[in-house]
Chain A
Amino acid sequence: MRQRIGVYICHCGGNISDYVDVEELSKMFHKEDGVVVSKDVMFACADSNQKAMVEDIQQYNLDAIVVASCSPKLHLHTFRAVAGRAGLNPNNYVQVNIREQCSWPHSDRPREATVKAAGLIRAGINRVVYSEALDSIEIEVKKAAMVIGAGISGMKAAIDLARAGNEVYLVEKDYFVGGHIAQQEKLFMTGQSGKEIVKRLYDEMKSYKNITVFTGATVSKVTGSLGSFNIEVKVKPRFINGKMDKQSVKRVMDDCQVTVRDRFNEGLTTRKAIYKNYPEALPDVPVVDMEALRDHPDFLEKHKAVINPNEQEETIALLAGSVLVTTGFDNYEPKEGEFGYKNIPNVITLPQLNRLMELSPEKLVYNGKEIRSVAFIYCVGSRQKKGENKYCSRQCCTSTIYTALQLKEKYGKIQNYHLYRDIRTYGKQEILYDRASKQGDLFFKYEEKELPTVEMNGNAITLKVKDYLTNKKELEITPDLVVLVTGMVARADAPHISELFKIPIGNDKFFNEIHPKLKPVETVIKGVYIGGTCQGPKNVSEAVQSSLAGASKITALLKSGTVMGDPVVARIDADVCTWCGKCAEVCDYTAIRETITKAGKHIAGVNRSVCTGCGICAPVCPVNAIEVAKYTDHEIEAMIDGFAAEVEIREEDVSAVNEGKEDFVAAHMKEYPQIWKDILDTLDTEKKTIPEMVDTLNMAPEMVTWHLMTMNKYGVVSPAGTNDKEEYYYYKIK
C-alpha cells in the first residue's frame, strides 16, 4: 500500500486547462487520503517540472506518483523515468489521461470534463495505492535483424545494419531484388537509372558476409517477440537446377517459346516462361514460371537437366532480434472505365508510360500509333473525398512532370497537357515544374467535383476538362495518349504482414507508426519497425531516409545483447492453476506453455519476454489463476471505486480564458522602464483598452501594445475582460 503520493495535474499549456479546472482539481486532491503533494503545472513534461518532481519525491519521501496529463502513449516513459531518477520504482507511477479523455472530447462541456477528470484522477490515485514495485525484465536480444522487402529502402537498410555489425536477413517476395525503382529508366531528381542503383546496392550487399538475401521468399509465421522473433520464411522454388552453368540455363531460356504477360513491364509486353525481370536483374538466376510450363511436358522433359519441376517450396526458420518492414507499395490500379481505362485504347497509367518509354528508345509508339501529344490526368485514385483513397500520394506530381520533361527530351516534339488539381512539386522539385512550364507544357486545373471526361470519337480521344484557371471554361483536347497519374496504395499483402507481426494499419491502409514525430518508424509492437513506402507514399530519397531511420533504431536496440522489458506481464498463481490449457489457446503470442513445478504440478508457464501483458488470458481462466501485473483485481476494483465516488466541484466558470503566460511576480521589480511607469499611471484608477491608453499617452499604438504585452507577460498588468464589441481587452494593474 502506498501512502505518500504525489499528484501532478498538467495544464498542457491550455490544452487541458482551457476546459478542465486543473487548479481546482489540484486543490481538491490535497485533501485526498495518502496524497502528500498535489500541484497543477503548466507542462508536466518540461524538464524544469521533471526536476521539481524529483525534488518533491525526495523531499517529501513520496512512495508513488500520479500525473494527470496526456495519453500515456506520449509520456508514460517520461514520467516513469522521473520516478526512476528520484529513486522510486518506475511502476509506482500512474498516468491519468485527462487530455484525450476529458479536455479534448468534452471541450463543449468544461464542467463535466472537469468532473470526469476528477473521477479519473481519483481512480488513478486509488490504483497507485496498490501499485507494486516491479522490476524490469531483462530480455536477451539476438544480434540479428530481418528486413522484409528488398526494394531500395530494404537493401539500403540491410547494408547499414550489416555495417553496424548485425546479422541481417533480407527477405524479398519477388525473385529479383530492387522493387519499383528497377522499373524506372530515370529517377527524379537526379536522373539516375534505377537498375544501376539496384546493381550498386546488390554488389555492396555482396561484400558483407553478414547479409543473407532470400528471394522468392515470404514470411509465413512469426512467434516470439522483441529480442527473439522466431520467423518462418517460405522460399518459393525457381525450378532451376542451381548446379547448372549459366550458359546452359541461357540456352533453355532461348529455347522457350511459351510467353506470359510481363508484369515487370506492367503488362505492356509478354515475356518467356523462363525469365528474368530484365536482362541484368539480380540475382542473376532466372525463374521458371511453372504454371505456364505445366502444359508443355515435352519442353520440360527436354530440359530436365536444367529445369526441375518437382522442386518444392522450402521453409526456413530464422531467429531475429528485431524486424524492419520495408515492403513498399502497389501502384493504384484504376477501375475499369475510370477515365476510360481499359475501355478506351491509349488510356494507360503513369507506371505503364514509364515502362513504355524505356522500351521505346527512338519513337514513342503505342498501339501502332506514334504519340505526339500526351494528356496527364492527375490524382487518379488519390485525394478522393468520397473514394477509398483520401490521401495525396505525394510523389506523383513530381514524377509526372519529370516524365513529361523526359518525353520531350527523348522524343522531341511532344505536347504535354497536365490536368491537375494542385501541382505538388514541393521543395526543390519546384524547379521541374518551372522547367515543364518553360518547355511549353500546358496546365489545366480541374476540381474533384467536375472531373475531366475521356471519350472516344472515331479514332481520336476527346478529353474534356473544365479549366478553373480560365473561369471554368470547358476545353477539349484530343491527345494521342491519356496517362492516368495513379498514386501509391498499400500493398495487397499488407494485411497479411500486419496479421503476422500485429502491425496496426491506418485509414489509408498503410502501416501505422506510433507517432509521426515522436516515434515515426516504431510500431506498437516492440522490436518491429517500418520504413519506406509501406508506411505511406514517399519518393525514393524519403523512403531511404525513413528505412535508415529504422535501421538506426534497430542498431541501437541490438547493440548490447539485452534490453529491459516492461514487467507488465501475466502471472500464474501456481496454487490455483490446474493446467486446463485454455489460456495457451487464446494467447496470440504463444507466451504460455505447460510447465511443471518443482513439486511436480502441471501449471501454465508464462514466457515473460514474449508476453505482452495484453491480458486476454486472465478472463478465460476458469479458476481465476491468472492476473496481469499492474492490472490486478485489487487495482481495477479500486479504480472503479475511485471513479464512481461523488465529486464536488466548486461552482465557477471553468471556461474562463486561461492565460498561457509565464507566471511572474512583479512585486520585486524595482525599476520599470519609464514607458511602463507612464502606462501604469494611466491605469492607476481604472481599467483601459489599448486605444484608450493610446489617447492619454500620446504614443504610437504599436509601442503601447508592445510594452503593455511585455508587462502582461511579466505579470505587471493583467487583462480584465473585453469591451462591449469584444474588439479590445481591458487591462488593469495586477
Chain B
Amino acid sequence: MNKQQNNNYDTLVIGGGIAGQEAALSLADMNHKVLLVEKGLSIGGKMIQLSKVFPTLDCAACITTPKMSETARHPNITLMLNSEIDGIDKTADGDFDINITNKPRYVIQENCTGCQECEVVCPEVRSDEYNTNLAGRKVAYIPFSLANPRIATIDRQDHSAPCINACPGGVKAYGYITLARNGQYEEAMKLHLEDIPFPGSLGRACYHPCQSACTRGMVEEPVDIRKIKRYFSDWYYEKYPQAPSVETKEKTGKKVAVIGSGPAGITAAYHLALKGHTVTIFEAAPAAGGMLRLALPEYRAPKDVVDRDLQNITVLSVDIEVNKKITDLKSLKEQGFDAVFVGIGTHKATASGTAGSDLKGVIDCLTFLREANIGKREDLTGKKVMVIGGGNTAIDAARTSLRLGAEKVIVVYRRSREEMPCFAPEIEEAEEEGVEIRVLRNPVQYIGENGQLTQIRLTKMQLGEKDASGRRSAEPIAGSEYVEEVDYVIEAIGLRADTAAFGGQVELNRNGTIRTDATTLQTSVEYIFAGGDTVTGSTTLIEAAGQGKKAAFYMDKWLRGMQMHDFEEGDKLPAIDKQIVLNRFKGEKRPQVKNAVIPLAERARSWEEVEKTFTEEEMKASTQRCLDCSNCRECHQCVNICPANAIDFSQKTKTVEIKAKSVVVTTGYKLFPPSAKPNYGYTKYANVIDAMQMDRLIAPTRPFNNVLRPGDGKVPDNIAYILCTGSRDSAIENGGCVSDCSNNPICSQICCMYSIKQAQLLMGALPMADITIYYMDIRAFGKGYEEFFQQTKGMGTNFVKGKVAKIRETDDGKGDLIVRYEDVTKGVVKEARHDLVVLSVGVVPNKEVPQMFRGEILALDDFNFVKQTDELVSPALTSIEGVFVAGAASGPKDIPDSILSAGCAASEVAGYLSRKEALLDDKKGRFTIMQQATKGKSILQQ
C-alpha cells in the first residue's frame, strides 16, 4: 500500500472493480496520482467472484488477479478499502473536497500476512458473501483467498453484545461466556485479564452491570455472568496458585508512582506495567487492596482471593509499598517518578453530625469494616446493633455485625425500601440471615450514659417530592420521635474522598474529589493523573477499575510523548438492538441455574463465603442460556493466535478528508434481487439459485467439492436457465424489495452470454447433465460471442424460446422443480421438470452513487444509471464537470466493454487535468492540411 504524504490527488476513483482498477492504472501510468476508494474489503469487484469469462473461457482469476496486483502495487495509486464516500463537494477553483469514512478492519493492515490463523481459530460462522451465501465463513476472515490486499478482517458489524457494552471496565463477558461454554477456562481468564486484573474478587462482589444489560433478562432472567466468571477464575487460581509470569512490552524506562492499591490503583498499575513502564504502588494501609480488602467482608470476598488477585499485578514486577501514606505529590517527581496516578478512593466516612455521635458505641462503617477485615474484630455478642444508611456498605456492616455475634441487627434507612441504593439481592440475603430493615426512620440523637451509647432517638420520615437527582426527598414527620434501646450504632451514610492533603497541589472539586480532564483523567498538573472514586466519588469496584484502565491508557501515551487526544481508549461498540436478538430467539424460557449457598443456620454466624461457586455443569448450563447477541463474540482467540500481533479491536472508524482534481465513478452495478420475482420461488425453493451462485459453484475456488444442489447436495443432471430474470420486464412486483428493484424495461446485456458460458462449463463438469436455456432473444453481440453461442448450441445445450411464467416445487419431496413456460415457437404452454433452476438475473443500478455528491447533482438517466451527458462523442462525461463515469455505473456492460470504457474515462480525465496547460492554438489557422500545391510542397491554409 502506498502512502500519499498529503491528501491531494489528481483523481479519485470510486469503486475497485475491473473498471475502477483499469481507470486507476491507466491514469497512474500517465503519472497522475490516484486514490482508489473501495467499499469492500478487497479490490476485484464482481469479476473476481466469477468462474471463467466468455467467450475465451479464461479463468476470471487469471485475468483479474494480475490487474489487482498491479493496482495494489502501483506507486501512483493509493488504495483505501472498507471505505465509503460521505460527500463530494466541488470547490470554487473546480477541485473536489471529498469526505471519506474509513471503517476499521480491526486488523493492522501493515502487520497482517494473510496467514488465516485467526480464521481457523474463530468460533463463529456467518454467511460467506463471496460464495454468494452458499456456505459459511468465520467472523474473523479473509474475504477470499485471492483477495487483494489479502488481509484479515474481524466482522464486528458495528456492534458489541449488551453485556460487553455495559461493562465500565470493558470486560468481554460474551467472549468469556463463549470460552467457558467450550471449557476453555484458561482462555476465558486470559481474556478477562486483558482488561481487569482482579476477576476473583469481581466474580464475588461485582455488581455486574453486564448482567443487568443481558438480553436474556428480557426473556426471563439474565445469564448469571458473574458466577460464570467466578467459576473460571476459581478454576484458574486452583490451577495456578502462583501467578504465571506474563510478558510485558519492551521496557520504556519510565517510572510511575501509583497512590492507592484499590481497584483503580491496581488496574492502572497493571496496565502501565503491561505497557512496559516501571510501577510502584504506595498504600497507606497496612495491606494492599483498598476497598477490596478493607471494605468487602470476608464472607463475600475471602482475603486469599484478594491476595491471589493482587498477584496478577505483582507478577509484573510492580512493587507495593504498604503503610506508606503519600501527601507530597511533587516529591515523587523529585524521586524520579515520571508520572503519578492518584487512586486513593473514598476512605473518609461522612459524619452524620447527629448529637451524641462521639459516644462510645457509635462508629463509622469504614472503621468498623476495616477493623473487622484487617484489625481487631470487636465482639458484639448479645448486642443490639443499628446500622444507619441504606447502601451496600450499610448492609455489609449489618451482616458483619451478625458474624461478630450481635443478637439483633437493624438497618435504619430514611427513605423507603425502593430508594435503598444497596444492591437488592444483598438486602434479601441480609434479611434471610435475620437483619431487620426499618425504613422511613432517621436518628435524631444518640443518648448515652457515662459516655457509652445506650439509646437512640429516632424520628419517622415521609417521602416528599422528587428532587433534582430523581429521588424523593425524606422529611421528618413532626412529633413522631421516639426512643429505643441500642448497644451499638454503625453510621453508613456516605463515603468521601480524603484528599485534604493534596489541596494546593492539584485542583480539587468542591466535594473533595480531584478535578481531571474527563477524557484523559489528567489533573491540573501535567504528570499527575487520577481516577476511581477519588475522581468520581464513591462508585463500584468495576467502575473504579475502568477508570484505572483508562488513566493508564492515556498516561502511556503521555509518557511516550504522544498527543493524548489523538487516541480514544477502549474497543467497545454500541450494543446491538436487543429486539433484533429477541426476534431471532426461538428457544424456550429457561430460568437461571440456582447454585448452592451455605444453609442459613450456618451462614449467618460464619465467615465462610455465603455463595458457593458453580459446579461445572451449573456453569455450562448457565452459559448455554446466552443468546449470542453480537456478531463477533469478542473472545479474542484471534488476538491470541495471531503470529503477527495484527489484530486490534480498538481500531476506530476514521473520517478522512482529501482533495482531488477529478473524480471517476466506477461504482458498478447490483444484481437484480431475484426474490422480486416471487413466481420464480427464489429463497422459497432451495434448488432455485441465481446465476452468480452458479458461477461460484463452477468456479475453481468454489465452496463445494463439485456442482451440487444447495438443497440437498445432489449432483444435478437437468438444469434450467431462466434468462431475462428481472430484465426486459415491466411486470416486477415492487413489494418485496422496495428501492432495490422496480420495473426494469432494459436488457442487462450480460445475462445471455454468462448463461451460455455456464452451460458450456457445466457440460464439461457434468457431462451427463441436460441443460435447457429458456430465452427471449439470444444477445450474443460481442466479438466472438455469436461463434461461442453457436458452439454451445452445437455441444447440445437445449435453447427454448419461451417465457417462464412460474416455477414450483414437485410434490414428491425430491426438491425438483416444475417450470411452466410458453413455448413461443409452438405457441403452447408447457411444463418441464428440472432438478436445478438458475435464474439469470439482470443488472440494476447502484443507487448509492448520486448520494455521494453534495451541491451539484449528478444526473441519472431514465433507468437510474449515471447519465452520460455526451454519450456518443465523450462517453465518460457526466453532468458535473470534472466527474467522469466508466464501467457499469452508466449502464449494463460486459467486462471488455467496462475495460474499454475505463480506458476512455482515463483518457478524458487526462485531457481534463491538462486543461490549464492545454496546447490551445493562440493563432487559429496553424491547423493544417498537407496537400500538394502547384509548386513543390506547400500547405493549404484553412
What residues of chain A have their CB less than 8 Å away from a CB belonging to chain B?
11-15, 42-43, 45-48, 50, 70, 74-75, 78, 152, 156-157, 159-160, 162-165, 187, 189-190, 192, 197, 200-201, 205-217, 233, 235, 237-238, 241-243, 283-285, 308, 311-314, 316, 382-383, 385, 390-392, 394, 422-431, 434, 445, 468-472, 508, 510, 515-518, 520-521, 535-537, 540-542, 544-546, 548-553, 555-556, 559-560, 657, 659-662, 664-666, 668-673, 689-691, 694, 701-702, 704-710, 712-714, 718-719, 722, 726-729
Contacts and interface: CB of A to CB of B under 8 A. Distances in A.
Interface string B777-800: 111111111110010000000000
20 contacts: A14-B700, A45-B61, A45-B69, A50-B69, A187-B872, A189-B871, A242-B941, A283-B929, A311-B934, A383-B786, A390-B790, A427-B893, A428-B746, A428-B865, A515-B63, A553-B29, A706-B136, A709-B708, A709-B713, A712-B705
Contacts of A545: 875-876, 897, 900-901, 903-904
A13 B52 CA distance: 11
B71 to A, nearest CB: 10
B239 interface: no
Contacts of A710: 125, 128, 135-137, 703
Contact of B891 (A75, A427, A552, A668): A427
Contact of B746 (A42, A284, A427): A427
A734 B933 CA distance: 85
Contact of A45 (B65, B131, B937): B65
Contacts of B749: 426-427
Contact of A163 (B747, B748, B786, B914): B914
B932 A160 contact: no
B933 A242 contact: yes
Given A160-B907, A706-B135, A709-B704, A70 B929 contact: no
Nearest to A560: B31
Contact of A657 (B119, B705, B865): B705
A517 B895 contact: yes
A728 B814 CA distance: 13
B777 A424 contact: yes
Contacts of A544: 872-875, 904
A390 B710 contact: no
Contact of B715 (A213, A313, A422, A729): A729
Given A710-B137, A727-B714, A727-B715, A661 B703 contact: yes
Contacts of B149: 47
Contacts of B930: 212, 214, 217, 233, 235, 314, 316
Nearest to A312: B932
B416 interface: no
Contacts of A559: 29-31
B728 interface: yes
B630 to A, nearest CB: 16
B466 interface: no
B864 to A, nearest CB: 11
B747 A430 contact: yes
B392 to A, nearest CB: 37
Given A163-B914, A471-B827, A727-B715, A428 B861 contact: yes
A284 B942 CA distance: 8
Contacts of A701: 686, 711-713, 815
Interface stretch (B253-261, B288-296, B331-339, B915-923): B915-923
Contacts of A162: 919
B732 interface: no
Nearest to A163: B911
A47 B704 contact: no
A291 B708 CA distance: 71
B135 A709 contact: yes
B631 interface: no
A205 B825 CA distance: 53
Chain B interface residue count: which class? Answer: 35 or more
Given A657-B705, A712-B135, 15 more contacts: A42-B145, A197-B873, A205-B927, A243-B934, A316-B930, A392-B780, A424-B777, A445-B825, A518-B66, A548-B904, A550-B903, A668-B641, A706-B134, A709-B135, A719-B706
A664 B120 contact: yes
Contacts of A661: 701-703, 705
Given A311-B932, A392-B780, A428-B891, A208 B704 contact: no
Contacts of A468: 801, 824-825
Contacts of A673: 123-125
Contacts of A314: 930-932, 937
Contacts of B873: 152, 156, 197, 200-201, 544
Contacts of B349: none
A197 B136 contact: no
Given A390-B787, A472-B825, A551-B907, A541 B781 contact: no
Given A657-B705, A671-B182, A705-B711, A165 B871 contact: no
Contacts of A548: 875-876, 903-904, 907-908
B902 interface: yes
Given A241-B933, A471-B827, A669-B120, A549 B783 contact: no
B559 interface: no
Which of B131, B704, B728 counts the most A-chain CB atoms under 10 A from its CB?
A: B704
Nearest to A167: B919
Interface in B53-92: 53, 56, 58-59, 61-63, 65-69, 72
A53 to B, nearest CB: 12
B715 A726 contact: yes
Which of A425, A542, A713 counts the most B-chain CB atoms under 10 A from its CB?
A: A713
Contacts of B901: 545, 549
Interface in B735-778: 745-749, 777-778
A259 B712 CA distance: 77
Contacts of A541: 868, 871-872, 875
A213 B929 contact: yes
B713 A729 contact: yes
Contacts of A391: 783-787
B184 interface: yes
A670 B895 CA distance: 43
B778 A208 contact: no
B705 A659 contact: yes
Given A209-B919, A541-B875, A551-B907, A424 B927 contact: no
A657 B783 CA distance: 33
A556 B117 CA distance: 42
